[in-house]
A and B are shown apart, each in its own frame.
Chain A
Amino acid sequence: MTRALWKQAMVWLLALALIGGGLGLVPGQAVAEPRYLTIGTTEDLDSLNPFVAYERASFEAFLLIYDSLVSFDRNLEPQASLAQSWERSADDLTWTFHLRSGVKWHDGQPFTSRDVKFTYNLILETGLGLNAEFLRGIESVEAKDELTVVIKTSEPKANMLLNPTPILPEHLWKDVPSTELEMYANDNPVGTGPFKFGEWKKSERLRLDANQEYFRGPPRMDGVFFLIYANRDTMAQSLLVGEIDVALNLFPSQLKGLQGDPGIWLHGFEENGFTELAFNCWTDPSSKGNPVLLDKRVRQALEWAIDKQEIIALALEGEGNPGTTLIPPTDPFWHYQPTPGELRSYDPAKANALLDAAGCKDINGDKMREDPSGNPLKLRFLLRSENTQEVKAGQMIKSYLQKVGLDTELETVDDGALNDRIFQGADFDMFIWGWGGDVDPSTLLNILTSGQIGTNNDCYYGNPIFDALVVKQATLIDPSSRQDAVWEAQRILYEDLPYCILCYDTSIQAVRKDKVEGIVPVIGDGALFYANTAENYLSAAPAGSTPSPTPTPSSTPTALVFPDLAGHWAAPAVTKLVSLGLVKGFPDGSFRPDAPITRAELVTMLVRAKTLPASPIAAAFSDANGHWAAASIAAAVQAGVVTGYPDGTFQPDRPVTRAEEAAMIVRLEGAAGGTPEVPSFADVPLEYWGFGSIETAKTMGLITGYPDGTFHPDQTSTRGEACSMVSRLPGL
């Protein structure tokens, strides 16, 4: 090309670049940049329609857009949501829910009991959606008045309060014919939840905007972005660079690159899910499965033959814990731990013994066993092609089985093909897949009931005793009786072994704690997100945004300064503490009396209340240095008011429970109270760890409890409650 042409081209390119750059600099609206919690994930929603959705990403979104009657708090205990309170009739068959007043749908319409009635009836009528299971046993749903719903069940319903069914707006859904329900896209979902729907671009992102009128107070961030990544490595890089605040579902191979960055918190935890080796247990003659597997001795033998630890170490890169019974131990209450006599571990000798006993011997000397009739034995083992870890595990299992003389034939197929093989004639012998559970144990137990053969029951297990037990446990409202039943059900499964649970899944979630704070693991060390609760979405805030440590005493009456205190029961206490300079509001002018109080906030309040001396040494917690409350924390620790956790953390942004709060205050006062023989509160028994401090606090008049005689010791305390308690301290 001639020089002249080159010159021309250069000029054009330069011009284009300048224009482009200039446009970028053109200020749009001169508004402060909104701050969204940006979460990177590889899982995308499949649908915004709760009747159709299958992927858990969709259900996480529903958790944020919609509310249920009762939701889960940070300890996965039921907490009031759209239902403010509830009663159960004496015969346990009638539930009365009292709904919160003043709740509005995102489009401004008022929320009433009719919405609840409509939603539940629609689900009961059509049986559509994964939530239909949760409503099993409900006979009728009536709206007694605008704010009261009465639900009658045929049998006592144990999981009534563990039901995450989102409540849908009647006025928007009533015109969708039930035959077209599954085709309804629900492109613009309207709920009552903490986040409003913004935008969903499939395979790109989901945007949810904060609902400023949320009845629990608005989320501390302006919204949430879920960014969908097609590739985990890129997602990890994205986190490293700071394009996202949170990365979910990382693999161990990405960890190395992230470990060097001190601003990144890598949180590994056990999930409520497992990976299993499933056996074809169908007794029907039309089954194409190998009948040898119908003998439970053979199935048990396979479990003895497999070294789960090694599989986890090699195929899963160390991510996972060896599995035993159906319900994962993330919920220690429901999980059944086999007795030492029942437990099967890795022992090829026992495997061999069982296989011999079952009649599978090596007749022709080729080191491989034949079946009891003498025919060659080859088990068809299907693996899911899209999960490389499962495929590796399958290959390892093949070699373990070979060592005990069992011949298997591996086949790697995609999910669609696997589904077909399973559900069309049961044309398989074994496969590897996984399940995720809910807080309610019924979800996992139901899978293996004979009624689910052909739908969820992919191993075709049918045991009438087990079926009966599953039905029964759903009706046992008393926790301890229910536990017995659930344990027994698991014991039966462990004995019959339709699923050999290879491992309980673990997962890794990462947070840039230098960009966001207020995110705390569920139940001590569980998940941060995808945790069946929306708490972290509510409490997440930009780093360093909590109220500054030096409060300025305000002379203006609190009620004027904090609009959200108007009419609030804690207003007088808050006013007192604010005027004393013990606590401050938020930069946006709110006080948020119903928001959870964090350990750091409470400690700061107490330190100031008692003007505890500053500590010369910084507290030795891995997560307290650099925190805005570091000084107060150090002082409090020195005074013996509070300690850290065994793992060396302080978890300053973790919300405080009422029991913890009582304990702190009692230590602050250096008081030791009497320990009456009869507990003052129905839910604080003698064995409870905080029994002593709660009783002391009651004696000191610092706490009262609820009208029904309970204290709710494990419930998260709110800022209002904390102020109320602190304001009663002697000397204030």
Chain B
Amino acid sequence: MTRRYFFSKLFQALLTILIILVMNYFLFRVMPGDPVSMLVRNPRMSPEATQKVAEMFGLDKPWYQQFGIYLINLTSGNLGTSFIYKKPVGGIIMERFLATMLLTVAAEALAILGGALLGIIAAWKRGKRVDVAALGFALVTYAMPTFWLGILMVALFAVTLRWFPTSGMLTPTLSMAGFWQRLPDTLWHLVLPGVTLALVLLGEYALIMRNALIDVLTEDYITTARAKGASEGRVLRRHALPNAMIPMVTLIALNLGFTITGALQVETVFSWPGLGRLMYDALAGRDYPLLQGIFLITAIAVVGANFLSDLTYRFLDPRVKE
């Protein structure tokens, strides 16, 4: 891969983010609901104090000035102050970011591995019972409502079998313990929400992998490889899979953005303190700065994921033009 390719893709990504920034900013100003009234919860505040608060958040200035201030602040990493929490947005998001990352990464990894495996088995044994079973499983989990699946998991694994905790990220009494004691506890808490989210995502990956692989398996070079005496495993590993991965990579990159905020349902069932719930609370509270911050982070994640997948294409498919 050349430097030119890398930088051109990088430039595209940054440009996209800039456009998103602008749209992001103005989109929220169009929402109904005066932020000042939501900001000032105290119904008995005097007009002077209200004015002061408006000043503090810069809500009294004309829109272009506000936008300018916003951009300048961004360059120094200042994402504004949350209306609800009265604290810097960046800090609030970062606190939840780790929780979201844990859940998302674990679920995605599980879903990709599981889905790919399922898709491979289904494609390899196309038409046979294994294929039908695998396909059926993928479709069922894909169609299942996330919330319902979550409640089911809790009822089965947390309540009936008592193998895992029902919710939360940490056993409360361990909140005062050291890192090495908290780590396995958090991982234990991660299992049910992670598996739930993974099951929901898995179906899509399985279907795509299956289709892609079936397509690839009809190509002549697969037959060539067999003719050369390659074992089935080698054919799969060296010839079929790498080519089938291309549509998978696209899907993974596309999904990543949605997964972060789409994990909202899982977060609600398991009371997992992630960005999804944060976004919901911010929305209900008309907290512009917080909403903007979350959307910005999500946009960066999506653009970033696509950027990475662009880079990955070059490795996967030499045919991609520079």
List the interface of chain A (C-beta within 8 A of B). 1-2, 20-21, 23-24, 26, 28, 33-34, 36, 38, 46-47, 52, 54, 127-129, 132, 179, 182-183, 185, 198-199, 201-205, 207, 225, 227-231, 233-235, 237-238, 240-241, 243, 386, 414-417, 419-420, 423-424, 452, 454-456
Q: Are A238 and B53 touching (Cβ within 8 A)?
A: no
Tell me if B181 and A419 are in contact (CB < 8 A): no
Looking at B86, B277, B281, which has the most chain A CB atoms within 10 Å of its CB? B86
**Is A183 in contact with B56, judged by CB distance below 8 angstroms?**
yes
Is the pair B185, A24 in contact by a Cβ cutoff of 8 Å? yes
Q: Which of B87, B170, B177, B284 contacts A28 (CB 8 A)?
A: B177
Q: Which residues in A have their C-beta under 8 angstroms from that of B87?
A: 185
Chain A residues within an 8 Å CB radius of B95: 201
**A253 → chain B, closest Cβ, in Å?**
12
Complex Cα distance, B277 from A201, in Å, reads 14
B62 to chain A, nearest CB (A): 21
Contact A414 B284 (CB under 8 A): yes
Once bound together, how far apart are the Cα atoms of A179 and B172, in whole Å?
Answer: 37
Q: Is the pair B43, A199 in contact by a Cβ cutoff of 8 Å?
A: no
| Chain B neighbourhood of A1, CB < 8 A | 233, 237
Kindly state whether residue B146 has any CB partner on chain A within 8 Å: no
Chain B: interface secondary structure? helix
B155 cross-chain contacts in A, Cβ below 8 A: 237
Which of B53, B86, B270, B271 gathers the greatest number of chain A CB atoms within 10 Å?
B271
Top 8 nearest A-B pairs (CB, nearest first) are A455-B43, A24-B184, A230-B268, A225-B172, A238-B166, A230-B271, A416-B33, A204-B273
Contact A204 B169 (CB under 8 A): yes
Given contacts A199-B175, A207-B175, 20 further A-B contacts (CB under 8 A): A28-B178, A36-B173, A132-B44, A185-B87, A201-B175, A203-B271, A204-B170, A207-B172, A230-B267, A231-B269, A235-B167, A240-B159, A243-B167, A386-B284, A414-B284, A419-B38, A420-B34, A423-B37, A424-B34, A452-B43
Residues of A contacting B53 with CB < 8 Å?
182
The answer to whether B269 and A205 touch across the interface, beta carbons within 8 angstroms, is no
Interface string of B42-69 (1 = CB under 8 A from A): 1111100000110010000000000000
Residues of chain B within 8 A (CB-CB) of A455 are: 43-44
CB distance from A27 to the nearest CB of B (A): 9
A23 to B187, CA, bound (A): 12
Q: How many residues of B contact A (CB 8 A)?
A: 57
Q: Which listed residue, A132, A234, A241, touches B271 by the CB 8 Å rule?
A: A234
A229's partner among B151, B162, B178, B271 (CB-CB below 8 A) is B271
Contact A233 B151 (CB under 8 A): yes
Known: A1-B237, A456-B43. A416 touches B38 (CB 8 A): yes
CB distance from B254 to the nearest CB of A (A): 26
Encode contact with A along B130-172: 1 for CB under 8 Å, 0 otherwise.
Answer: 0000000000000000000001001100110010011111101
Chain A residues within an 8 Å CB radius of B184: 20-21, 23-24
How long is the Cα–Cα vector from A701 to B286 in the complex, in angstroms? 67
Q: Are A23 and B154 in contact (CB under 8 A)?
A: no
Asked if B285 lies at the interface with its beta carbon under 8 angstroms from chain A, I say yes
Q: B63 to chain A: closest CB distance in Å?
A: 20
Contact A241 B168 (CB under 8 A): no
Given contacts A23-B180, A420-B34, A455-B43, contact A227 B168 (CB under 8 A): yes
Quick one: which of B44, B158, B162 contacts A127, CB cutoff 8 A? B44
Q: In whole angstroms, how far apart are the Cα atoms of A28 and B184 in the complex?
A: 13
Task: Identify B278's interface contact among A203, A386, A419, CB under 8 A.
Answer: A203
Instruction: Say yes or no: B267 contacts A241, CB within 8 Å.
Output: no
Say yes or no: A203-B277 contact (C-beta < 8 A), given A234-B270, A414-B284, A420-B33.
yes
Find residues 285-301 in chain B having any chain A CB closer than 8 Å to their own CB.
Answer: 285-286
A235 to B165, CA, bound (A): 11
A38 to B165, CA, bound (A): 15
Ordered by A's residue number, 15 sampled pairs between the chains whose C-beta atoms are within 8 Å are A2-B233, A2-B237, A24-B184, A26-B181, A127-B46, A199-B176, A202-B273, A203-B278, A204-B273, A207-B175, A230-B271, A234-B151, A241-B158, A243-B167, A423-B37
Contact B37 A201 (CB under 8 A): no
* B interface, CB within 8 angstroms of A: 32-34, 37-38, 41-46, 52-53, 56, 84-87, 95, 151, 154-155, 158-159, 162, 165-170, 172-173, 175-178, 180-181, 183-185, 187, 233, 237, 267-271, 273, 277-278, 281, 284-286
**B244, chain A: closest CB distance, angstroms:** 14
Please indicate the chain B residues that have their CB under 8 angstroms from the CB of A228 in the complex: 271
Verify B284–A416 contact, CB threshold 8 A: yes
Q: How far is the CB of A579 from chain B (nearest CB, A)?
A: 39
Nearest-Cβ distance from residue A249 to partner chain B, whole angstroms: 14
Contact A241-B173, Cβ < 8 Å, known A24-B184, A128-B42: no
Q: How far is the CA of A240 from the CA of B271 in the complex (A)?
A: 17
Closest to A38 in B: B172
Interchain CB contact under 8 A, B159 and A241: yes
Which of B166, B185, B277 sits near A241, CB closer than 8 Å? B166
Other-chain contact of B268, A46, A183, A231 (Cβ < 8 Å): A231
Q: What is the minimal beta-carbon distance from B168 to any residue of chain A, in angstroms? A: 7
Max chain A C-beta neighbours (<10 A), residue from B167, B184, B273, B277: B167
Establish whether residues B271 and A243, one from each chain, have CB atoms under 8 Å apart when the complex forms: no
* B-chain residues with CB within 8 Å of residue A241 when the two chains form the complex: 158-159, 162, 166
- Min CB gap B264→A, angstroms: 9
Q: Which residues of A contact B154 (CB under 8 A)?
A: 233-234, 237
Give the residue of B43, B181, B271 whose beta carbon is less than 8 angstroms from that of A23. Answer: B181
The contact of A36 among B84, B172, B178, B286, by CB within 8 Å, is B172
Q: Contact check, B159 vs A237: say whether CB atoms are below 8 A apart.
A: yes
CB distance from B109 to the nearest CB of A (A): 13
Q: Closest chain B residue to A199 by CB distance? A: B175
Q: Which single residue of chain B is at the shortest CB-CB distance from A207?
A: B175
> A185 with B86: in contact, given A230-B267, A238-B166, A424-B34 (CB under 8 Å)?
yes
- Contact present for B37 and A179 (CB under 8 Å): no
B233 to chain A: which residues have CB within 8 Å?
A: 1-2
Name which residue of chain A comes closest to B96, CB basis: A203
Which chain A positions have C-beta within 8 A of B32? 417, 420
Q: Which residues of B contact A420 (CB under 8 A)?
A: 32-34, 37
**A63 to B152 alpha-carbon distance, docked (Å):** 38
- By a CB distance below 8 angstroms, the chain B residues around A202 are 85, 273
